Amino acid sequence: MPHLPIMQNRRAVLGGMTSLGVLTLAGCASYPAFSLEEAVRRLLFLSSDRAFARLLQPGGFWDDQVARLALPEMIGNRGGTLQRILTGPIFRERLQRAFNDMAYDAAERAAPAVTDAVRTIGIRNALALLRVSDPMAATAFLHQEMGTSLVEIMVPAFGDALRVSREPLVGQVLSALAGVDVAGVAGSLANQADDAIFRAIGREEAAIRADPRSTNDPVLMAAFGLK
């Protein structure tokens, strides 16, 4: 799959951010003044940028144990034709891989919404988000603030992918799901993808907190106590 211009746009946004205030963390006098809110935004911009850079690669969801989508429960709980399809592990893996491949397009649609949210959300008690012991605290805050917005964005993407999938097993499964429409499967996958995206962002946030010097960002290094 081709590289996406949104990745370049996200990096341009990160590199072009300007100071939102004049607060300075204690012990960081060797760096220019910066606001605590700016530090949190930079943390989230870089974390989400790195997460989507991983996910928006061929096999980005399937190859990542943190992000891999499982078969929707509505599929695993059915009998009859579905039971026969899913009995063999090879068929289960083929079907699961197909769903994970669909997550690429869904995540592509979701990425700009995450960027916009990081840019515009009000960040309450930024110091607590930076100093809390939870290494994924800022990501959890972002997820809470965004609510189900990514799910709503990704449901149509999964719906479109299900309808045009070239994997024959997908068509067989959808035909066998009596009483469950494509939208139901798409919704289940979108909810999983939403959780997977924020898990991936949280992993990157934790890595940045553990080694802020690797970012080469003076604001982030100062925010986490490096001089």
104-128 pLDDT tens trace: 999 999 999 999 999 999 998 899 9
pLDDT at 77: 58
Segments forming the whole domain that contains residue 202: 5-223
Residue 99 phi, psi (nearest 5): -65, -40
Query: For residue 194, with 0-12 CB atoms within 10 Å meaning exposed, 13-18 middle and 19 or more buried, which class applies?
Result: buried
pLDDT at 17: 36
pTM over cut 0.75: yes
Cα 28 to Cα 43, 204, 208: the distances in Å are: 17, 23, 18
Q: Please name the amino acid found at residue 153.
A: I
Q: How many domains does the chain have?
A: 1
**Is there a contact between 169 and 91 (Cβ–Cβ < 8 Å)?**
yes
pLDDT at 111: 98
SS3 for 181? coil
169-192 pLDDT tens trace: 888 888 777 666 788 899 999 999
Q: Looking at the predicted structure, is the pLDDT value of residue 6 above 70? A: no
For residues 77-89, average pLDDT: 65
